[in-house]
Structure 1
Amino acid sequence: MSVTSRYREAWEGFWREASAEPGAVFWDAEPVLTVGPHLALFEPYLADPALPLLDLGCGNGTQTRYLADRFPHVLGVDLSAAALDHARRSDPAGQAAYRQLDAAEKEESQALHAELGDTNVYMRGVLHQCEPDDRQSLVDGIATLVGDRGRACLVELSGAAKQVLRDLAGGPEGPPPKLAPVFRHGLAPGEVADEAVPEYLRSAGLTVLASGRLPLKTTEYRPDGTRIELPSTWLVAGRTA
């Protein structure tokens, strides 16, 4: 099952319009504030850190390049060709490789696994943006990619994040400048119940090995100068037998 054309076009439109300036995208905070803390949580659970690492939903590659400094083989994958154009332009040294992938499409995930073997997968804030009917297919694709030895390292907005975003969008001046394009392109964050994420993983044949809560930092600030953070949950999953 592949994603809908509406969803694909929404992301293409967003990334075609997005600035290449660091921090211009709402969720594209500095890696030391995002993937760095996530790695500290995830790395103890990696059964084999030498496996290829996939940054699934890599966008413009900010976090991918950070990962490439720390792992021997990193591949950033994204549904959007425009996002990958940003990623490649921002990585002239070729620290990481980049490829278009619809992970919800069974044949694409199977083909990539056949090429790379088992992988570790890092995915931040993608599942809640998916169409509801695509979410299980996406997690099934992740289960294919990790295989027997890999680990899935996921960070998703918690249910409490929806109210934070609603309050930001409903302010007297509308949503903050970096959040406005998300809504304009029809990418308003969806709601995934906190208990649904581990259930998607279990249905895909994966066991949740660890989980917890950690605020997801953004690049936007409130009028009082404090950085906007969104409540999020993190999970590590894999096959245990």
Structure 2
Amino acid sequence: MIGLVLAAGAGRRLRPYTDTLPKALVPVGPEGAEDSLTVLDLTLGNFAEVGLTEVAIVVGYRKEAVYERREALEAKYGVKITLIDNDKAEEWNNAYSLWCARDVLKQGVILANGDTVHPVSVERTLLDARGKGQKIILALDTVKSLADEEMKVVVDGAKGVRRITKLMEPSEATGEYIGVTLIEPEAAEALAEALKTTFERDPDLYYEDGYQQLVNDGFVIDVAPIGDVKWVEIDNHDDLAKGRTIACQY
């Protein structure tokens, strides 16, 4: 099993930081500090802490910044990094971005969005949840109060995920998907097909819409509740301020 990071997005709501950097490289350490940690740093650190030694990163927008830092990141975290180019990063949404890593999925991955600040306990929770025949396990926050923007999930016992979408009344949801998934090798082919179906239907769709396609096709997707932990998806400057507060605790 290896780590996989989706880091191709532009993150336009984080300008001016993202004028020159992809969102995954926006600093989340103390503002103005030299060599401040980024979301990518935190994620690579988490992967290394749970014993992953190989990481693939899907890059697109301002990808040269990730290429420039690859060697230093490998040395810092003791991982081998493979970069996967997304040629449509500024045109299409992340269903296509994850599909670009379809060959990597065959190795089994812990997938992390490149904009999610979270503790290593999330990766440990996913790894601890393995072993009962699950093929895909989503990290689920069942504690946080939900609103319109969150990626909401409805779970039905042994049937697993029934719905995953932002377009749902918060009161209907079991919890929020935080952007971290464990994907076993056995799920790779079916997931790649579902992602392809999804972005061919509409290139603006999310990879979570690919998960919904799998569910619609009868594939069981499981969840692992992460407990009461602090995390944030960084989409805008308010999120970035929260991310800086959280990042210094891990």
Please report the TM-score for the alignment, with normalisation by the length of structure 1.
Answer: 0.34
